[in-house]
Each structure stands twice: as C-alpha cells, then as structure tokens.
C-alpha cells in the first residue's frame, strides 16, 4: 500500500495566507460599497432639502408686486406693492423682503391694498433658512420682525451661506442705461421713448450653500434665478 501523506506546514501557511488575502479583499469591497451607498444617501438628502428650499424661494419671490387691482386701464405706476417699503428690498445680502396681494376669499386679501400680513421674505438665521409668511399682526417689512419660521431643520442641515442680489433693466427710455441701473435713477422729463412710461424689469439671483450636520464633508451649493413677473412702472418725473 502507498503511504498517505498530508499537507506540509509551509503548504498550510500558504493556503491560510491566500485565504486571508481573499477575505481581506472581500471585506474591503463590502466596506467601500456600504460607504459609497451611505455617502450617496447623505448627498441625496442634502440635495433634496436644499432644492426644496430653493424652489420655494424662486416661486414665491416671483410673485412679488402682484396687485389685485391690476385690471385693464389701471395705472400700474400706482401699484402699492412696488412702492416704498412694500417694494422688493435686500437690507442685507442674506435677507430679502417683498410684498404681494395675497389671493384669498377674505376681504383683507386680493383687494389691491397692502394689508397687515402681506409682507413676505426669506433670510439666513443661525444656520437655517427662515420664511416670513402671513402674520396679521405685522404691518411692516422687517428682517427681524414677527412671522418668521424655519424651513430647514438645524439638527440635520446647516445652511452656511445665503445671498440675494438684484439685477435691473430699465426699458422705454431714450438715454443709455446700464443693465444694473434702476428706472428711478434715470427717468426724467423728456427721456421716455413713448407713452410717458418706463418699465423696470427685475431679476433676483440666489446662492444657497449647506452641509450635513452629521457629516460636514457633504456640502452643496445651489444657484437660482428669479425673473419677477410684475415689473415696476414709472411715469415722467
């Protein structure tokens, strides 16, 4: 009978080493897959939060200056939602204020008058984006007044930057006007092209940056542009 022999010690050690290498590679691939999936989920969550806030800001700011009394034949230059403190204001780079005639069945809204609670806005405060919604007790445009509520959850997302900038274009004037000049600065007697009215279109550019509180490496910056639907109208001065 042929004598049977087992594995030598060297063969066993080589086999164990090969198995260990394969096991290490498998664990490494698993960890990388899990880490990649976790990062993807985190990024998706941050993107969703920031994009939701940006969409809300863009859609609401676009309504600035809406006037319930803007019927055929109305003098648009007297639109109270584009005059004085009711007009779009950016007191600081991180705060925008505006007003519009809130569409509602109630007598206080949709009536063509700037009522209490029709001053709106967005601002950055303590790492959160806050929105100023209807507050019947508030009758002024103010970045520090009442009626503000947080849109983002500070325990989940930290908003590190929010800026608003306005670009203007004045139309129907005979003088040469740069893109960033308001009609109020150029409308004078005799320089309107026709119908003695100038039209000021407004564009709001928004930059929003945030990061996850649980992983500050995960950051995101969004850029948004708002073309305000309701232009300001100026008459000859």
Determine, yes or no, domain membership for 137. Answer: yes
- Of 183, 177, 180, the closest CA to residue 167 belongs to 180
> CA 38 → CA 35, 52, 75, distances in Å?
5, 21, 57
Determine the pLDDT at residue 2: 58
* Whole-angstrom distance, CA of residue 206 vs CA of residue 96: 10
Domain count, the chain: 1
Determine the pLDDT at residue 42: 73
Determine the pLDDT at residue 58: 97
Per-residue tens of pLDDT for the chain, all 237 residues: 555 566 777 878 888 888 888 888 888 887 777 665 666 677 788 888 999 999 999 999 999 999 887 777 777 888 999 998 899 999 999 999 999 988 765 545 667 888 888 899 999 999 999 999 866 567 788 898 888 999 998 988 999 999 999 998 887 776 655 556 778 777 765 566 556 678 889 999 999 999 988 888 889 999 999 999 999 988 765
DSSP state letter for 173: B
Determine, yes or no, domain membership for 214. Answer: yes
* Whole-angstrom distance, CA of residue 229 vs CA of residue 101: 13
SS3 229: coil
Determine, yes or no, domain membership for 97. Answer: yes
Determine, yes or no, domain membership for 184. Answer: yes
Determine the pLDDT at residue 174: 67
Determine, yes or no, domain membership for 32. Answer: no
Determine, yes or no, domain membership for 24. Answer: no
Determine, yes or no, domain membership for 4. Answer: no
Name 206's bridge partners: 164, 224
Residue 99 and residue 63 in contact, taking contact as beta carbons nearer than 8 Å:
no
* Whole-angstrom distance, CA of residue 190 vs CA of residue 176: 14
What domain range is 121 assigned to? Answer: 40-235
Secondary element (H or E) of residue 58: helix 9-61
Q: Which residue matches tokens 């609401």?
A: 60
Determine the pLDDT at residue 5: 65
Determine, yes or no, domain membership for 8. Answer: no
Residue 120 and residue 100 in contact, taking contact as beta carbons nearer than 8 Å:
yes
């Amino acid at each position: 009978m042929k004598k049977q022999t087992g594995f030598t010690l060297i063969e066993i050690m080589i086999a164990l080493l090969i198995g260990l290498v394969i096991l290490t590679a498998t664990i490494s691939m698993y960890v990388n897959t899990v880490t990649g999936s976790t990062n993807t989920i985190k990024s998706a969550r941050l993107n969703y939060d920031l994009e939701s806030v940006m969409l809300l800001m863009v859609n609401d700011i676009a309504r600035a200056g809406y006037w319930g009394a803007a019927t055929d034949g109305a003098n648009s230059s007297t639109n109270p939602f584009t005059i004085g403190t009711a007009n779009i204001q950016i007191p600081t780079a991180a705060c925008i204020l505006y007003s519009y005639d809130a569409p509602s069945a109630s007598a206080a809204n949709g009536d063509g008058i700037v009522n209490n609670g029709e001053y709106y806005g967005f601002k950055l405060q303590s790492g959160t984006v806050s929105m100023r919604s209807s507050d019947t007790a508030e009758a002024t445009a103010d970045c520090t007044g009442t009626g503000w509520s947080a849109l983002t959850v500070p325990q989940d997302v930290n908003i590190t930057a929010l800026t608003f900038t306005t670009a203007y274009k004045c139309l129907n004037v005979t003088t040469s006007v740069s893109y960033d000049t308001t009609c109020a600065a150029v409308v004078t007697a005799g320089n309107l092209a026709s119908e003695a009215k100038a039209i000021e279109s407004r564009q709001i550019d928004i930059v929003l940056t945030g990061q996850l509180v649980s992983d500050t490496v995960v950051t995101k910056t969004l850029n948004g542009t708002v073309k305000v639907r309701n232009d300001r109208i100026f008459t000859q001065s």
